[in-house]
Amino acid sequence: MGGTAARGGRRHTVVVDLGFGDAGKGATVDRLCRSGGVAAVVRFNGGAQAAHNVVTSDGRHHTFAQFGSGTLRGVPTLLSRFTAVDPLALAAEADHLRALGVPDPYALIAVDREAPLTTPYHAAANRLREQARGEARHGSCGMGVGETARYALAHPGEAPTAGDCVSRPRLLRRLRLLRDRLTDELGPLAAPPLEACAEAYVAFARAVRLTGGTRLAELAARGPLVFEGAQGVLLDEWHGFHPFTTWSTTTFAHAETLLAEAGAAGEGLRLGVVRTYTTRHGPGPLVTEDPELAALLPEPHNGHGRWQGAFRVGHFDAVAHTYAVETCGGVDALAVTHLDAPRRCRGLRICRGYGIDGALVERLPPGPPGDLARQAELTGRMLRAAPALWDTPSSDPRLWSEAIGSLLGAPVMLESSGAARQRVRELRSMGKSKYVSGKVSEASV
């Protein structure tokens, strides 16, 4: 890990998915933690809806949601104030980690006191809103993470936080206010009684280490940090394809804020993760979608979700991924996953241009944050788009890796193969790609 993170003068590594999620962040973080020396994995966005799969060489499988994906390597986790914390889901995850041989999972996690709490009341409200949208559903996970952010923005200073769990009276006041407000707005909520929630949350506060803003600096002084992002840039709350987005900043921004506060500004290597094909859960634009790929590229850890909807598969979308890179302000390096796919599916291709309203579009320019009307207009264009310009780098994984690095303008630092067990290798060279575009066929636009 030390050599990996230090390359280019960067001490720490920030891992971000450049797609719609599910690109392989868990396997990437696990690989970065495997060789030892990592002081902590820091979660810097999202919440319990994250699903980062790690399968170890001895066959143990865990879907990481709130614990960092280095936990099976004994690397501790810090949940920052930008991460929504669900104590009930955390307890279930800790139970599974114990079953996998982690003796005391709670000893490996610390939580910022300012981290917002996701409660069953948020989850119930989240599901009621999604049901009310009918055919216009956004594809929510139904776990209340977005509702947590919504409520905190609407009622600053009154939303429950991890720090409130040390004071039962204050916690109960805030939970009661939360429940009553959401009930008044949406009707009865299918959620446990206040006392049961409060009891579980007080137990959570006793089990984990609650920390303040100095904890990150202390960890950074001990050694390299790996910042583990959730979801993907194409789902970003401000830059994703509205309204099919998350209530979370999925770019490098929060991680870099945390590094700056810890006195380590500019010390994070920006590592973008992509698959050799593009996927997404639920509704929203997926220009390169090809239903036939789903049968050829089975997905052992992703499937239809009750609230998210179907797991969808398409060819590699260089236009959308380049948009993600530009939205982030660039990446230092890439991790390319599922490099076995081109051999398993010889018809797999790279889309380099769309046809939209009779025009060829090879680039989507990012806009300023906060302009959701612009993002909704972009979503409309994406829903009318069709692939129009293709590359086919053959079935050779090396050519695919080089092609993706060339198209996204960054060297490939890590490669991995396999859907069930990601065999990850670190590249020794991060020189410029020598990829030359393969055969191109252009459809009518």
Kindly state the percentage of the chain with pLDDT values over 70. Answer: 88
CA–CA distances in Å: residue 365 to residues 21, 333, 355:
21, 21, 16
Question: In the numeric block, which tokens belong to residue 288?
Answer: 């390169």
d(CA 230, CA 32): 16
Is residue 265 scored above 80 in pLDDT?
yes
Which residues are marked as active site? Answer: 22, 52
- The arrangement of secondary structure in 120-207, i.e. its CATH architecture, is Orthogonal Bundle (1.10)
Residue 360 CB: number of other CB atoms within 10 A?
Answer: 15
Q: Per-residue pLDDT averaged across 249-258, rounded?
A: 97
Residue 8 assigned ligand-binding role: no
Residue 338 assigned ligand-binding role: yes
pLDDT, position 138: 60
Question: In the numeric block, which tokens belong to residue 412?
Answer: 């490939």
Report the first-to-last Cα separation within the chain, whole angstroms. Answer: 46
- How many CA within 13 A on the CB side of residue 435? 26
Domain 273-413+426-445 has CATH 3.90.170.10: yes
CA–CA distances in Å: residue 265 to residues 45, 210, 260, 261, 437:
18, 24, 4, 8, 37
CATH 1.10.300.10 range(s) for the chain read: 120-207
Is residue 428 scored above 80 in pLDDT?
no
C-beta of residue 346 within 8 angstroms of C-beta of residue 313: no
Q: Per-residue pLDDT averaged across 157-175, rounded?
A: 97
- Tell me the whole-structure pTM to 2 decimals: 0.90
Interstrand relation of 412-417 and 333-337 (parallel, antiparallel or unpaired): parallel
What does pLDDT average to over the chain?
89
pLDDT, position 441: 33
- Poorest-pLDDT segment among 165-179, 286-300, 361-375: 286-300
- How many CA within 13 A on the CB side of residue 264? 25
Over the stretch 58-112, which tens digit does the pLDDT of each residue have?
888 999 999 999 999 999 999 999 999 999 999 999 999 999 999 999 999 999 9
C-beta of residue 50 within 8 angstroms of C-beta of residue 231: yes
Residue 22 assigned ligand-binding role: yes
Over the stretch 296-348, which tens digit does the pLDDT of each residue have?
887 777 656 665 568 899 999 999 999 999 999 999 999 999 999 999 998 99
pLDDT, position 42: 98
pLDDT, position 8: 47
CATH 3.90.170.10 range(s) for the chain read: 273-413+426-445
pLDDT, position 218: 95
Residue 118 assigned ligand-binding role: no
Q: Which residues contact 16 (CB under 8 A, 6 or more apart)?
A: 25, 229, 232, 233, 250, 251, 252, 255, 270, 271, 272, 273, 328, 331
d(CA 147, CA 153): 10
pLDDT, position 111: 98
pLDDT, position 70: 96
Under DSSP, is residue 80 helix (H, G, I), strand (E, B) or coil?
coil
- Poorest-pLDDT segment among 148-162, 284-298, 400-414: 284-298
